[in-house]
Chain A
Amino acid sequence: MTILAIDTSNNALGVALFDEDRVLGEYITNMKKNHSVRIMPAIHTLLKDCDRAPADLTRIVVAKGPGSYTGVRIGVTIAKTLAWALNIPLVGVSSLEILASGVGRYFNGYISPIFDARRGQVYTGLYQYENGSITTVEQDKLVMLADWAEKLKTSIKPILFIGNDLAIHQEAIQTIMGSQAVFAAVTEHNPRPSELAILGKNQPGEDIHSFVPNYIRLAEAEAKWLEAKGQM
């Protein structure tokens, strides 16, 4: 069994190879650079360094969003095409869940991964570890950060926030939630592609043809069109 995990949903670019119960290799950068130029060479290098060929792959796991529309699409397009061309299963995992998966294992409370979505909005969800495995408490969504923090304040559990975009929102969260809010260390903010591999390891394969990113949001033109249609 050799799993290839791919995450290009935000600035961080991640690729991992997972073999049976071992992380064979992992490549992460956190740079505002072009994923389209770098992701295939990164996959190529990682496989080569780990003495694996494309034909050795038994499963592809991809971060399916939310995140940058273009970024998620690059990862999903490559994952779909590889899985179809190699005739192996494809699994999609929430890009937010990958972040929660790493730190949540050792935290007694809820985890809220944060991706900035501009104009005070964030993509987030709520996760928790139960009996050693991660569960979704609240589905991934697009919300105003302030509304989200106010809502979480009503919970009795501590909330762990994580993500590279936390720098933008940490102060606002702190102000609203006080000591109930816990913030992950800077070394935890890049999503680990090996966590992505583990999350998708035992899930049933998706239908490759119909698999699409989870954008959360409709395309702007589509939303406006539906709104106009509703008003007629």
Chain B
Amino acid sequence: MKKDLLIMGIETSCDETAVAIIKNGREVVANVVASQIESHKRFGGVVPEIASRHHVEQITIVLEEAMNQAGIRYQELDGIAVTEGPGLVGALLIGVNAAKALAFAHNLPLVPVHHIAGHIYANRLVTEMKFPLLALVVSGGHTELVYMKEHGHFEVIGETRDDAAGEAYDKVARTLNMPYPGGPHVDRLAHVGNPTIDLPRAWLEEGSYDFSFSGLKSAVINTVHNAEQRGEVIQPEDLAASFQASVIEVLVKKAERAVDEYGVKQLLLAGGVAANKGLRKALEETFGDKADVELVIPPLSLCTDNAAMIAAAGTVMFERGKRAELSLNANPGLDIEKYND
């Protein structure tokens, strides 16, 4: 009988301190997330130094809770996977150094994980991956289309040239005087409004899979500004609905074109903005009745930053022989294509 493979994942790239343990790459045995969002709310965004301080406060507590949830001893673990980057350097450093100390203390292999690879592999906790596949990654820091011909191989076929979609959501929320983090507020508001305001869609050059959201963001700000000057009232819900319609249309159309061109078997949604109800609905409407491509959308808890996704990606990389030395450093600008094994 083959022994179960147990991998611990550690994630501290932004404002969540998270530890999880995954069995055989697919089964969640423990999943603990300590969010700092309440602390950062007062600043209207994540403050790096404060994020780092919270990670130090939380790290062993979260580790202990994950070990208790799993009810295992360290000797039963096969490896420690940790987010190497991208992310906030000071925040990443806490996870990386805790992982190295653990690997050293118990003589366990150390596996470095790319944060976006983690977001993509969250889908493997839902269903087995079928290659080739396409992942639409949408988060506060990333908007990209990633093509995977096999496990552990990532090719970015399109990415944002300026703001990430999540960033645009937060800025629009601020324009509409909504509290941080604004994304979910804009999403909620968009549902009660109508997309009556004409806003641009950035398709870029013919055939490009890249994205751009800064023009759209400026258009929203200008619309509010011009209305104020003319003494007119803009319905915030209509503006939110119009903004959301523009973002989603571009994301879905580009994903649809890439799915056809690359002939993929699956389209995976990944990243924090995957929690967006409007985006989920639009993807389901577009891909729901396409028999040749399977749409996979993880549950909300696996879309936002967590360590289960890091352990899931870490398991695959562990099996493919990827290892880090005790000299592993945080890599805030880690490129996913350089991460390919």
Query: Which chain A residues border B52 with CB–CB below 8 Å?
Result: 69-70, 73
CB pair A85 B93 closer than 8 Å:
no
CB pair B330 A36 closer than 8 Å:
yes
Query: Which chain A residues border B96 with CB–CB below 8 Å?
Result: 36
Query: Which chain B residues border A40 with CB–CB below 8 Å?
Result: 97, 100-101, 104, 326-327
Q: Which residues of A from 9 to 37 have beta carbons under 8 Å from B?
A: 34, 36-37
A86 vs B8: C-alpha distance when bound (angstroms): 17
Interface string of B201-227 (1 = CB under 8 A from A): 000000000000000000000000000
Tell me the smallest distance from the CB of A228 to a CB of chain B, in Å.
Answer: 10
CB pair A85 B102 closer than 8 Å:
yes
Say yes or no for A103: interface residue by CB 8 A criterion: no
A151 vs B209: C-alpha distance when bound (angstroms): 66
Say yes or no for A187: interface residue by CB 8 A criterion: no
CB pair B101 A82 closer than 8 Å:
yes
Say yes or no for B126: interface residue by CB 8 A criterion: no
CB pair A74 B327 closer than 8 Å:
no
Interface string of B97-112 (1 = CB under 8 A from A): 1101110111100000
A143 vs B311: C-alpha distance when bound (angstroms): 46
Tell me the smallest distance from the CB of B2 to a CB of chain A, in Å.
Answer: 27
- A219-B50 in contact given A44-B326, A209-B60 (Cβ < 8 Å): yes
Say yes or no for B94: interface residue by CB 8 A criterion: yes
CB pair A36 B93 closer than 8 Å:
yes
Say yes or no for B260: interface residue by CB 8 A criterion: no
Say yes or no for B59: interface residue by CB 8 A criterion: yes
Tell me the smallest distance from the CB of A139 to a CB of chain B, in Å.
Answer: 21
Q: From DSSP, what is the main secondary structure of chain B's interface residues?
A: helix
Tell me the smallest distance from the CB of A179 to a CB of chain B, in Å.
Answer: 41
List the A residue with the shortest CB-CB distance to B40. Answer: A221
Q: Which residues of B from 170 to 204 have beta carbons under 8 Å from A?
A: none
A77 vs B101: C-alpha distance when bound (angstroms): 9
CB pair A85 B106 closer than 8 Å:
yes
CB pair A41 B326 closer than 8 Å:
yes
CB pair A37 B327 closer than 8 Å:
yes
CB pair A212 B56 closer than 8 Å:
yes
List the A residue with the shortest CB-CB distance to B103. Answer: A40
CB-contact partner of B327 in A41, A86, A209, A221, under 8 A: A41
CB pair A222 B50 closer than 8 Å:
yes
A220 vs B49: C-alpha distance when bound (angstroms): 8
- A37-B100 in contact given A73-B93, A81-B63, A219-B49 (Cβ < 8 Å): no
CB-contact partner of A221 in B49, B56, B60, under 8 A: B49
Query: Which chain A residues border B106 with CB–CB below 8 Å?
Result: 54, 85
CB pair A81 B102 closer than 8 Å:
yes
Tell me the smallest distance from the CB of B334 to a CB of chain A, in Å.
Answer: 14
Tell me the smallest distance from the CB of B279 to a CB of chain A, in Å.
Answer: 31
CB-contact partner of A77 in B43, B59, B325, under 8 A: B59
- A74-B60 in contact given A36-B330, A40-B327, A86-B105 (Cβ < 8 Å): no
Say yes or no for B339: interface residue by CB 8 A criterion: no
CB-contact partner of A219 in B53, B57, B101, B330, under 8 A: B53
Tell me the smallest distance from the CB of A203 to a CB of chain B, in Å.
Answer: 19
B residues near A (Cβ < 8 Å) are 42-43, 47, 49-50, 52-53, 56-57, 59-61, 63-64, 74, 90, 93-94, 96-98, 100-102, 104-107, 325-330
11 additional A-B pairs beyond A40-B101, A76-B56, A222-B50, beta carbons within 8 Å, are A37-B327, A40-B327, A41-B326, A54-B104, A70-B90, A73-B52, A80-B98, A84-B63, A221-B43, A221-B49, A221-B50
28 contacts between A and B (CB under 8 A): A36-B97, A36-B330, A37-B328, A39-B97, A40-B100, A40-B101, A41-B327, A44-B104, A54-B105, A69-B49, A69-B52, A73-B53, A77-B98, A81-B101, A81-B102, A82-B101, A85-B74, A85-B101, A85-B105, A85-B106, A209-B61, A209-B64, A213-B56, A219-B50, A220-B49, A221-B47, A221-B50, A225-B42
A residues near B (Cβ < 8 Å) are 34, 36-41, 43-44, 54, 69-70, 73-74, 76-78, 80-82, 84-86, 208-210, 212-213, 215, 219-222, 225
Q: Which 5 A-B pairs have the closest CB atoms?
A: A81-B101, A40-B326, A85-B105, A219-B49, A221-B47
